[in-house]
Structure 1
Amino acid sequence: EVLQRAALRLRSSTCEIVNAVKKKQQNKDNDAGLQESPPKKNTVTFKLDTGAQPIVESPVAKSPRSVQRKGKLCSPLKKQEEEEEKKLSAKTGWIEGRSAVDGASPVSSPNSKSPAKATGKNKGRKTKHASSVEPLPEGEEVTDTTGKKWKLIRQLSQSATELLYEVSRPSSKELNHTLKLGAKDGRIFNEQNFLQRAAKPASVEKWVKQNKLDFLGIPSCVGFGLHTDSYRFLIFPSIGESLQSIIEKENQPLSEEVVLQLAYRILDVLHYIHSNEYVHADISAENVYIKQGQRSQVYLVGYCHAFRYGPGGKHVEYREASRTPHEGTVQFISLDAHKGAAPSRRSDLQSLGYCMLHWHTGLLPWTELTQPQQIATEKQRYMEDVPALLSQCFGRRSVSRAFQTYLTAVMALQYSEQPNYSALKAGLSDALVQLGASVEEPLNF
């Protein structure tokens, strides 16, 4: 209605202008002063070409086209702004607060589901994976934010985005700390943000006492800082050996007893971080550590993909393609992550279920697949048929009842549903008792 009224007003004004021009043209021969009218006539003609002339022909039918043309002109600008915003977020280190807003805020732009936005995030992902971190020489010293110096003794491992070093204080010969090194604006900043916000030692200790736990496997960050304006580092007390390296040494699947013990300890950690509005979003054997000499101490590490799913106590909305799809260790991430939806509590629990199956049976139905979308298709299929998933993994062996109970429960969770951690842990604990074991016993690889 507003457009129609505007069109009628414009039509009326145009008719007056046209009549005036015709009247001046009729008096042209009689009035010599009108010889200077062509400039005015050109001005009028310009107005008619851009807006008035179509409305004279059909004011109601043509005005929407004019509006549509404006929309098309504005759309690329909006997309350009979105792309610039994404580039900025990538440069600022993927701050979790930003992820919470852009990834799943109920008030986010409806264009967030568009292919253009998804493509933009895919470009960001390629950029992050392409940027490798150059190792620092052994013997070099770094200084954390408190002024403490740490000497790099030995490089322990390297990936495309981070390195691990054995470090010590220059005045000490004890090698009891590990330094994680990453790009200054890389995902390591997201991990630092999580550790400072949700994993403070005092908060962890309070949780342990309140829930009467004997241990909670969250690493304590004892130092962090920047180095040469290119690197960011975190320092942790040494927490032993990764489960991945143990599995590779054993060269055989883990026993059901060990897997249930691991899952129980990891559930403790997930319960804590979920209660602090975060999810881990990348559970795998590489992010599980076992402390040597104290085999019952299981740590969940690697919070580079940690996501704040409930900022301010309000769960983010489920929106596919709101984030980069397939983020994390592709074999174990949830279907939500494959679809580009923000990870939620069920995402972590489902990922843990996939890990449990792989650790115990040595395979998953999609183990041989390499394309993320193919893996996602298989996960969709088996998510709706847990018995078939178990049958595929266990083969001719008897299916573990504890695995079946756990997987059936977590695959049925709704996106924003709060899991029953106590029930899940009770199922694992009861199964361990039937096997003649307990959670408190050292892990027997």
Structure 2
Amino acid sequence: MEEDWARVTFRFCPQCGTKLQWGFKFCPSCGEKIPGAAVASGLEDTSASPNISPSKVDKALKDSSGCHGSTEGDNVECTTSSPKQNPVKRGVKKAATVEFTSPRSGRGKARLFQPVEEGGKAEGPTMDISSPGSSPNSKSLFKAKKAKHTAALEPLENGMEMTDMTGRKWTLVQLLSQSMTELMYQVVQKGSKTTSSESSYILKMGAKDGRIFNEQNFLQRAAKPVSVDKWIKQHNMDLLGIPSCVGFGFHSDSYRFLIFSTIGQSLPSVMQDNKLLPEKTVLHLTCRLLDVLHYIHSNEYVHGDVTAENVYIQTGHPTQVYLVGYSHAFRYCPSGRHVEYSEGRRALPEGPLDFISLDAHKGVAPSRRSDLQSLGYCMLHWHTGVLPWSALADPDKVATLKQRYMGDVPALLSHCLGRKRDSSGFRSYLTAVAALQYTEQPDYSELKAKLSAALSQLGGYLDEPLVF
């Protein structure tokens, strides 16, 4: 068996499809822990069984007419509901579109919970975030390792043409932003007579098998324009702030890109020199973002990276708020069954620790409450500029404080707002989120109603422009 494995140079992450070298314990792209059982159980059939390879997904995606693909891909599942399934084989039924579910370390140990009705309690064993067994000082907390960095992307020259999978050509106009893993460009479709903002689009590029692979699959599965429009009509909304992906393609066999309609500026750019936001603005933003999270969660996904950098305000339309950045999107409820609470399964997310959920600190796969926790931390920071753990760099110390204040919301508000101030909107939201169980479905309508009521008391309304 060891001789056979010695000839296998790489395998694929069952979460995002990234190609992995032998010895990797965590995926360098999505941070998911690689199941150890895959080594023993998958060797004999690696040549015969289909791996979760992005190349096979890409082949199936070529039949799509746009970024959102066809509905046929929705029939393909990467389910975790069968504990007898081979960890290397599972995830493919028709080798079309990869689902994002939590890989299991070992066989016969995975248990999934049925989702509960809105506002109800989860059946079966659940893990309270304040229970002794889930203390941030537990051993599993210290097992979480940071994901390895991927090579930085080199910027492309302005004027270069990119061709998407439908044959449309896009011209790079200007580099908007750059990070270690992504490039953002303003682009125009070739043949357009103007390069004004009205006719421009955004091109987002990343490593072909990196996190942008996750984002593309989320958009194709859960954020098709027809699905978003249907949700808007059903809930009598004016807008649902999910960016519209109008195309995708590849560059130099190493990069994958997505094309989006322009959605304005990021929240930090809009704030500019204003370091703090008025309470009315924060409550208004939160209501808009809750609408987006409600939709995402209802489609079996969580966002996984709720931060100010992923909140955009449409230029000229300050009532239009978008939540972007779905490269960390995670399918928490495959086939309608919630993944199990299990600590130490995922690497600690990269970047600032301020806004990640307590579940993330413990290496637990994100759930609905994880997104709402992160949004709560953002609310406090947008309005006050401080959090009790902002000055700390040790993840364990940050997790300890988050655990402490999760069980004492009044103390958290006192620390951030001051002893003489109070906010019914902040208090009601944070209290409700702190009480959520891992598998429990939040009552989005109740959360939004209380925030709206607090907004009205301050003289604000959801249909008026945001004030910065």
- Distance (Å, rounded) in 2 between the aligned partners of 1:385 and 1:407: 10
Instruction: Identify unmatched segments of 5+ residues in structure 1.
Output: 1-72
Specify which of 417, 429, 438 is matched with residue 406 of structure 1: 429
User: Which residue number corresponds to residue 95 of structure 2?
Assistant: none
Specify which of 90, 99, 112 is matched with residue 18 of structure 2: 90
**2:175 aligned partner, one-letter code:** Q
Specify which of 168, 174, 199 is matched with residue 188 of structure 2: 168
Aligned to 1:252, the other structure's residue is in SS state coil
TM-score of the superposed pair, with normalisation by structure 2: 0.72
Specify which of 207, 214, 217 is matched with residue 190 of structure 1: 214
TM-score of the superposed pair, with normalisation by structure 1: 0.75
Whether 1:147 and 2:167 are equivalent positions in the alignment is yes
Gap change, CA 1:319 and 1:196, over 3 Å in 2? same
User: Which residue number corresponds to residue 420 of structure 1?
Assistant: 443
Whether 1:331 and 2:354 are equivalent positions in the alignment is yes
Higher RCO (Cα < 8 Å, 6 or more apart):
2
Gap change, CA 1:136 and 1:184, over 3 Å in 2? same
The answer (yes or no) to whether the contact 2:99–2:217 under 8 Å persists in 1 is no
User: Which residue number corresponds to residue 30 of structure 1?
Assistant: none
- Distance (Å, rounded) in 2 between the aligned partners of 1:201 and 1:435: 35
User: Which residue number corresponds to residue 156 of structure 2?
Assistant: 136
User: Which residue number corresponds to residue 240 of structure 2?
Assistant: 216
Q: CA deviation at 1:106?
A: 8.9
Q: CA deviation at 1:89?
A: 4.5
Specify which of 225, 249, 252 is matched with residue 275 of structure 2: 252
Structure 1 residues 169-178 or 208-217, which shifts more?
A: 169-178
Superimposed CA distance per residue, residues 17-76 of structure 1 (whole angstroms, 9 cap, x where no aligned partner): xxxxxxxxxxxxxxxxxxxxxxxxxxxxxxxxxxxxxxxxxxxxxxxxxxxxxxxx99xx
Gap change, CA 1:156 and 1:194, over 3 Å in 2? same
How many pairs align?
361
Gap change, CA 1:105 and 1:385, over 3 Å in 2? farther
- Distance (Å, rounded) in 2 between the aligned partners of 1:203 and 1:381: 40
Q: CA deviation at 1:325?
A: 2.5
Aligned to 1:317, the other structure's residue is in SS state coil
Whether 1:157 and 2:177 are equivalent positions in the alignment is yes
User: Which residue number corresponds to residue 407 of structure 2?
Assistant: 384
| Larger helix percent | 1
**1:197 aligned partner, one-letter code:** R
What does residue range 66-77 of structure 1 map to in structure 2 within 5 Å? none
Specify which of 323, 327, 340 is matched with residue 317 of structure 1: 340
- Distance (Å, rounded) in 2 between the aligned partners of 1:328 and 1:268: 26
- Distance (Å, rounded) in 2 between the aligned partners of 1:383 and 1:105: 32
What does residue range 27-38 of structure 1 map to in structure 2 within 5 Å? none
Aligned to 2:190, the other structure's residue is in SS state coil
- Distance (Å, rounded) in 2 between the aligned partners of 1:143 and 1:349: 38
User: Which residue number corresponds to residue 296 of structure 1?
Assistant: 319
Structure 1 residues 330-339 or 129-138, which shifts more?
A: 129-138
User: Which residue number corresponds to residue 24 of structure 1?
Assistant: none
User: Which residue number corresponds to residue 100 of structure 1?
Assistant: 101
Aligned to 2:342, the other structure's residue is in SS state coil
User: Which residue number corresponds to residue 42 of structure 2?
Assistant: none
Aligned to 1:340, the other structure's residue is in SS state coil
The answer (yes or no) to whether the contact 2:110–2:340 under 8 Å persists in 1 is no
User: Which residue number corresponds to residue 291 of structure 2?
Assistant: 268
Instruction: Identify unmatched segments of 5+ residues in structure 2.
Output: 21-28, 31-51, 53-77, 79-97, 112-138
Q: CA deviation at 1:384?
A: 1.3
